[in-house]
Amino acid sequence: MTEAERLRIDKWLWHARFCKTRGLAVDLVQGGKLRVNGQKVLKPGRAVGPGDVLTLAFGGQVRVLRVLACGTRRGPAVEAALLYHLLEETGVRATGAAAEQP
């Protein structure tokens, strides 16, 4: 895999719309909330590419996904969804009727 097929993890998280800004993506990575292929990543400059498996822990959820592409820009959500495949999602979401119960 060439370097052109890889992208900084903070930029990839931003392109894939997991974070609203690259600054928030940096905070996520430096906060220890991310693993790449099972190894904790603390540096936002870590390169990822197609085939890498990411484990993200934020917002009360843990998401495991496979990187399918790097992307060239932060496009619409439909385009961002093509950058990854969700393998697993766990956690509690406060939505609907469950959020209204005491």
- Output the tens digit of pLDDT for each of the chain's 102 residues: 555 689 999 999 999 999 999 999 999 999 999 999 999 999 999 999 999 999 999 888 999 999 999 989 999 999 999 999 999 888 755 444 443 333
Domain count, the chain: 1
In a domain, 99, yes or no: no
Q: 72: domain range?
A: 3-90
The pLDDT of residue 4: 62
In a domain, 101, yes or no: no
Q: From CA 13, how far away is CA 36, in angstroms rounded? A: 12
> What's the pTM value of the predicted model, to 2 decimals?
0.83
Calculate what percentage of the chain has a pLDDT beyond 90. Answer: 75
The pLDDT of residue 89: 80
Q: Is 102 exposed, middle or buried, given 0-12, 13-18 or 19+ CB atoms closer than 10 A?
A: exposed
CATH number at residue 59: 3.10.290.10
Start-to-end CA distance of the chain, whole Å, equals 52
Q: Which of 3, 20, 21 is nearest to 70 (CA)?
A: 3
